[in-house]
Structure 1
């Protein structure tokens, strides 16, 4: 039987985590969900108090870093499908059934199409581009499902990356031609764009992709992100 372990890396997500957990429980079937795992990287904003209200949620602490947090969550997951989800991304109704249907078809990894909770024209266009199958249109905000066996076989998330860990894993999956894009909308927050400025942040993201394409290693990408975005 196919069952999903939902793994959510968290760091100071008091504004989103309650709504997300409620959303997940209301938009999935209990029989399809093996566990929901929160892996915290050192929250200080009351996120932990919110999570503690959910007795069915598994909770672990980890050193800060999404790759480290998600790998730790995968270590304790009991489902045969892993679903990595950012704390401010809300998957579509019946996301569990949609994922399991794709796995049954032989698609062992993939994501949903994504839209931002924003009316900014560029962000709306960026969302539409996620409908395409191109690797360049992928990112961690779209969420990521992968069978547990493939995740372990492919080498898990590379913990050298502070950022770009999702894209690094996705690249390895594309190399294997093992990725499907489910044409149902996931909605994610545009908060980072409004904090940094839409065009400024988009420029930084393009530079990061270009640097990686030109051979930059994880340390160089981390330094660039920390200097201009963090």
Structure 2
């Protein structure tokens, strides 16, 4: 049986410090894989595209903004399944099989559970909560797979959103189908927590969720993020 084609889409912005390691890690997982492609949607002003030129991935230039970049990347793909992955997140070794199995079972969209690359007990606790089907437990770091037909039906990511675009995407997907949570875990960088402090950053993330729920506009959310999170 021919595997379901999967397109991996990675948005990047000034990732020169870590993109080589990220690519090596991902390519190590897909070296023997069939029917996959890796599209990097890049908005960098640093050496990220030069570094990416040394890897077997396709780079497309995009305007800055994660929603815009993910939509731009999607337009350059061919796969029937789109898999959106952050540059500092590594999927589990079994991720292609996990996604294909879920799709064969009728799951039109889904994400992985998540762990951080930091064994701090609080970080482990935050990762543990990602197994639950609660909106507040969803985030882009968990990555997202979605059937192309559903992605196109709901209009892709909302490019008017510069903050909470992943949360908004999940909400719109769930108007059509549940977002399935796979049992395996992606591993994502804890650098923001290390830079900002674990509790202060989590409080700021909670504040942004609350502001969004209360109807604050994108400019207010962006300003709060810029003033409080490094």
When normalised by structure 1's length, the TM-score is 0.94
Task: State the partner residue of 2:99.
Answer: 99
RMSD of Structure 2 on Structure 1 (CA): 1.4
How far apart are the structure 1 equivalents of 2:185 and 2:28?
A: 16
Counterpart-to-counterpart distance in 1, 2:123 and 2:166 = 20
Specify every segment of 5 or more residues in structure 2 that has no aligned partner in the other structure, as ranges: none
Shift of 1:225: 1.3
Map of 1:31 onto structure 2: 34
Q: Distance in 2 between matches of 1:113 and 1:32?
A: 24
State the partner residue of 1:8: 10
Q: Could you tell me how far 1:82 is from its partner in structure 2? A: 0.6
For each residue in 1:98-118, what CA deviation from the matched residue of structure 2 results, as whole angstroms up to 9, or x when unmatched?
A: 101111111111100000111
Contact 2:110–2:182 at 8 Å: present in 1 too?
A: yes
Structure 2 equivalent of residue 118 of structure 1: 118
* 1:1-230 → structure 2 map (5 Å cutoff): 2-28=4-30, 29-33=32-36, 35-44=37-46, 46-54=47-55, 56-230=56-230
CA offsets, 1:83-139, max 9 Å, x none? Answer: 110000000002111101111111111100000111222111000111112221110
Moved over 6 A (4+): none
1:196 Cα offset (Å): 1.4
Stretches of structure 1 lacking an aligned partner (at least 5 in a row): none
SS of match in other structure, 2:174? helix
Q: State the Cα distance separating 1:23 from its structure 2 match.
A: 2.1
Cα 1:30/1:43, change in 2 over 3 Å: farther
Contact 2:15 2:44 in 1 (8 A): no
Q: Residue 186 of structure 1: CA displacement?
A: 0.6
Q: 21-30 vs 122-131, which deviates more?
A: 21-30
- Shifted more, 86-95 versus 172-181: the winner is 172-181
- How much has 1:37 moved relative to structure 2? 0.5
Question: Counterpart of 2:34 in 1: which secondary structure?
Answer: helix
CA contact (8 A) 2:6 2:35 kept: yes
| Cα drift, residue 177 of structure 1 | 3.4
Which piece of structure 1 moves more, 218-227 or 6-15?
218-227
TM-score by length of 2: 0.94
The alignment covers a number of residue pairs equal to: 227
Is contact 1:135–1:174 with CA below 8 Å preserved after alignment? no
Task: Measure the CA separation in 2 of the matches of 1:211 and 1:184.
Answer: 31
